[in-house]
């Protein structure tokens, strides 16, 4: 049985490999697979963010590099991008000056947010438990939830943003000449001046409009090679795009996704629903670093806590997973939430390790 540290080391090694491949140039299939890997587990996106931010620190801070020179060798070929990332994680940090250690602690905890210029645009990232509010060059604002990666690429006729992993809320400055387009999981959200939330999960892409209107459309077709083994009806359905959908304020669009080998694609038809004010408050509570639930299944509540914390909760049986939960909780107070469940007298708590708690229904 692997330990938490072993799991983290393995994830960081895979993240470094991905970044090295990206530095050499992604094919479209590799780009989709990298996106899928990032949102497969919140720790994946966090590892990518940590590596890239560590690289940025070393590249941006010559004095830091000078301090590290006696304890680590920086090959000339490894001074750019992800090749340096692999070297960063082999550094004996215990020999590094205290000032650098403090900076790296900020990075590790997600308190340091450094925009990353890339050929594709500017990248913004948060780690598990992190939150960032970014004001873009046109005055539009992006709020990043935990374990989120966003790419921003503004060109003369368009304002393009890619949600690579996680969840973000966009408040868009009105500019009819430059539509604001967010892509996530094969879905495109087009707006002029409005406010909306996009969440990229393993099973769906969710778009929630809080102000104005947006148009949502599928933007990618399925790679036929990725459909081998799928049923004929599924192949026919996945090969078609859903018609564009127009969403107004207080409406939510849920587009199911299916992982076929290395590719995640949107499938039709999407489901549009009206959203009550209480549900909107619940969905956006992360902006205040709170979690709000109203008769929400425990499995979904646990998923929200797990996304934001190193301490992971596991629901031990199916019946308990469906138990409804209501209330407002601090997003980083897992222990308090567990104590509340335990005090009900209906849930048993088993602490398997420092980083894992199993919840079981008392029969």
Asked if 152 contacts 124 with a C-beta cutoff of 8 angstroms, the reply is yes
Is pLDDT above 80 for 136? yes
Comparing 287-296, 344-353, 354-363, the range with the smallest average pLDDT is 287-296
Residues in CB range of 28: below 8 A, 6 or more apart: none
pLDDT value of position 195: 94
Domains, the chain, ordered by start: 4-108 (no CATH), 116-280 (2.60.120.1440), 289-361 (3.55.50.30)
Burial (CB count within 10 angstroms: exposed 0-12, middle 13-18, buried 19+), residue 315: buried
pLDDT in tens, 323-342: 988 888 888 889 999 999 99
DSSP 176: T
Residue 87's φ and ψ, nearest 5 degrees, are: -70, -35
What do you get for the CA distance between the two ends of the chain, in Å?
A: 29
pLDDT in tens, 256-288: 764 432 344 445 466 789 999 888 988 888 887
pTM of the model: 0.53
pLDDT tier, 5 (very low <50, low <70, confident <90, very high otherwise)? low
Nearest residue to 325 (alpha-carbon basis) of 307, 300, 308: 300
Cis peptide before 60 (omega within 30 of 0): no
DSSP per residue, 42-80 = HHHHHHHHHHHHHHHHHHH-HHHHHHHTTT----GGGSS
Comparing 66-70, 134-138, 245-249, the range with the smallest average pLDDT is 66-70
Is pLDDT above 60 for 320? yes
pLDDT value of position 22: 74
pLDDT value of position 19: 77
Helix (H, G, I), strand (E, B) or coil at 202: coil
Which residue reads 């709000």 in tokens? 292
């Amino acid at each position: 049985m692997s330990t938490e540290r072993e799991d983290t080391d393995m994830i960081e090694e895979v993240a470094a490999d991905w970044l090295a491949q990206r530095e050499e140039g992604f094919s479209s299939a590799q780009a989709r697979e990298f996106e899928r890997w990032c949102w497969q587990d919140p720790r994946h996106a966090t590892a990518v963010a940590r590596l890239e931010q560590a690289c940025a620190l070393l590249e941006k801070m010559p004095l830091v590099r000078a301090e590290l020179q006696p304890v680590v060798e920086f090959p000339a070929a490894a001074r750019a991008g992800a090749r340096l990332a692999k070297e960063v994680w082999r550094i004996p940090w215990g020999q590094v000056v205290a000032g650098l250690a403090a900076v790296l602690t900020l990075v590790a905890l997600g308190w340091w947010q450094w925009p990353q210029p890339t050929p594709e645009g500017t990248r913004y990232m948060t780690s598990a438990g992190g939150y960032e509010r970014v004001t873009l060059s046109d005055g539009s604002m992006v709020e990043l939830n935990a374990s989120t990666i966003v790419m921003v690429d503004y060109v003369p006729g368009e304002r393009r943003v890619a949600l690579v992993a996680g969840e973000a809320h966009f408040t868009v400055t009105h500019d009819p000449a430059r539509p604001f387009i967010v892509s996530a999981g094969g879905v495109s959200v087009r707006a002029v001046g409005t406010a909306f939330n996009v969440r990229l999960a393993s099973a769906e892409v969710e778009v929630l409009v809080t102000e104005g209107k947006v148009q949502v459309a599928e933007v990618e077709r399925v790679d036929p090679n990725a459909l081998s083994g799928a049923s004929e009806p599924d192949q026919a359905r996945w090969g078609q795009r859903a018609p564009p959908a127009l969403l107004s304020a207080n409406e939510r669009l849920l587009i199911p996704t299916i992982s076929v080998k290395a590719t995640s694609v949107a499938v039709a038809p999407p489901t549009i629903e009206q959203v009550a004010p209480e549900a909107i408050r619940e969905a956006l509570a992360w902006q205040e670093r709170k979690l709000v639930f109203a008769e929400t299944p425990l499995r979904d509540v646990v998923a929200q806590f797990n996304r934001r914390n190193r301490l992971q909760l596991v629901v031990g049986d199916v019946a308990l997973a469906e138990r409804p939960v209501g209330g407002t909780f601090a997003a980083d107070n897992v222990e308090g939430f567990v104590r509340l469940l335990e005090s009900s007298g209906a849930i048993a708590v088993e602490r398997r390790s420092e980083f894992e708690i199993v919840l079981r229904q008392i029969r």
